[in-house]
A and B are shown apart, each in its own frame.
Chain A
Amino acid sequence: MRRIIPILISTFLLASCTTQKSLYSWGNYESASYNYLKNSNEKSTQELIEAYQKIIKKQKGTRGVVPPGIYADYGFLLLQINKTEEGKAMLMKEITLYPESKVFIDRILKMAEK
């Protein structure tokens, strides 16, 4: 045990150094999300759309890909403002990038058709 603890501590320290840079960049996503959640008006919708677009176009994370859920939530928002085709295209992009999303995206597409 005496030997294990210093190893544990040093791996912990090393790990905390390497996590400096995030897998994804998010810009002002959280406050835009909050604002939309709270108000859902035209202004907050526009703000959230811009936040999504920035995450997609100016992604600076270490993975170099759009983070989970962004294409999907963006597509879902587009569906709600009647940009149906554009919205569906975004939802399909989520499935391509993250196949694990297919199960609930199919569900939302069905709900949208009703």
Chain B
Amino acid sequence: MLTGCKTTTPIAKSTAYKGMYDEKPLTILLMPPINRSTNVEAKEYFHSTLNVPIDNAGFYVIPPFLSMEILKKESAYDAELFLNSPLTKFGEVFGADLALFTIIHKWDKSGLEAKVYIEVEYIIKSTKTNEIVYTRKGEITYDTSISTGTGGAFGALADMAISAINTAATKYIDVARACNAYTFKDLPAGKYSPNYGVDGEQIAGKKEFKIRLNSNYKY
């Protein structure tokens, strides 16, 4: 309902993400991504790339491997079950102020054009109030044909050096990274960031966006 309300005037982050500014959260739990796409691999691409941008924004992300283990032990690994239910328990077990749900709606590869079409929705909820404090949904077209030797040269070299991983996986990790980075550009700064508490007047990104990205995308 809320997402259907489109507006053209810029909204300040302190208004768009009011809950984040009111509650002053520090810790955030990454729920295992919910994969509704036809690509089974998509879940791992997102799972292994979500903590970096959120830590870089100044939050404390509950260590991903450690939280995965606890969630499995507590039979809470299927995030779908918690999307619409109280999150108080996650607050108690992990000390998490927030929980991030990532829903991969679409991850389609087009072989001929070397493009990936992604539809991904990010929902951050407060474990205290259960309210959504941040949400964005993106339709992203990522062109994988523009790659090594340009913008992503350093990343590509570093990735090549680590051998064990195949190039296709490396490419798709970059796709997930770009989706996360683009979306979370407007995430309010967390306590470990020098921008904490002073970024409320910056403009929030659109709740629903369409964007074309490639490996030249800098973040």
Give the interface of A toward B (CB within 8 A). Answer: 1, 5, 7-9, 11-12, 15-16, 18-19, 22-24, 26-38, 43-44, 47, 62-63, 67-70, 72-73, 76-77, 94, 98, 100-105, 107-108, 111
Contacts and interface: CB of A to CB of B under 8 A. Distances in A.
Interface centre among A8, A76, A104 (most CB of B within 10 A): A104
B201 A7 contact: yes
B69 A69 contact: no
A47 B162 contact: yes
Contacts, number: 132
A11 to B, nearest CB: 5
B199 A15 contact: yes
B192 interface: yes
A86 to B, nearest CB: 16
Given A28-B159, A104-B95, A69 B66 contact: yes
Interface residues of B, number: 49
A34 B48 contact: yes
Nearest to A1: B9
B217 interface: no
Given A30-B48, A31-B162, 12 more contacts: A9-B10, A12-B202, A15-B202, A18-B195, A24-B56, A28-B161, A31-B169, A32-B162, A44-B164, A47-B162, A70-B63, A100-B95
